[in-house]
Chain A
């Protein structure tokens, strides 16, 4: 099946930028998603990017997609303590099924 990989942990200082990386194997992926999970909660959709785009910006969030290298990143500008959470990358395959394949999640810790 599809393989989506992320590093497990990231720590940044408050006010710095955070960059969370993700690699995937399915070259036919059509949409790629970033979800945020706060402690004790479900997953909240943050943003997504269509595979024919290479960048998407939404306020403090910037998504970069390198389709050739199958690499996706999420940059959070001016990181705040409220950004501390687990961030999941997910990809939607090119087939008709609406399944998503998730990475392991990256736990972001923001140090005051």
Chain B
């Protein structure tokens, strides 16, 4: 079974802090994704990556950056956290072929105070 592991289930940070959310997958997937989930809005794509050191902006990249130094790890970075970034963050991975389903981690619920 595909295992996507997010480093923290719950995280509380302060406004202005630099925040790192980590995601690791064990299936050698090329594609990795970061979403945020907010009530009534579903999942919105922040960034994705097709390969090591490659990244593409999703629908809502403002205020975020990402890092993919190794194939199995995809990090989401909040450069200067703000209260409107309080949300559930979900990481996913998938094989390189188009239309392959994405496999999700359990999510990180991030609160910015």
- The residues of A with any CB-CB pair to B shorter than 8 Å are 1, 4, 8, 30-31, 33, 35, 40-45, 48, 88, 92, 95-100, 102-105
Q: How far is the CB of A85 from chain B (nearest CB, A)?
A: 14
Within 8 Å of chain A (Cβ to Cβ): is B80?
no
Interface assignment of B25: CB less than 8 Å from any CB of chain A: no
Residues in chain A near residue B6, CB distance under 8 A: 42
The 8 Å CB contact of A45, one of B48, B99, B101, is B101
What interface size band does chain B fall in? 20 to 34
Interface positions of B (Cβ within 8 A of A):
4, 6, 9, 31, 33, 35, 40-43, 45, 48, 58-59, 90, 92, 94, 96-107
**Shortest distance in angstroms between B98's beta carbon and chain A's nearest beta carbon?**
5
Across the interface, do B99 and A92 meet the contact criterion of CB distance under 8 Å? yes
Complex Cα–Cα for A8 and B41 (A) = 10
Least CB distance, A8 to chain B, in whole angstroms: 7
* A8 with B106: CB separation less than 8 A: no
Shortest Cβ gap from A111 to chain B (Å): 22
Measured in the bound complex, the distance between the Cα atoms of B93 and A21 in whole Å is: 26
Q: Is the CB of A99 within 8 A of B90?
A: no
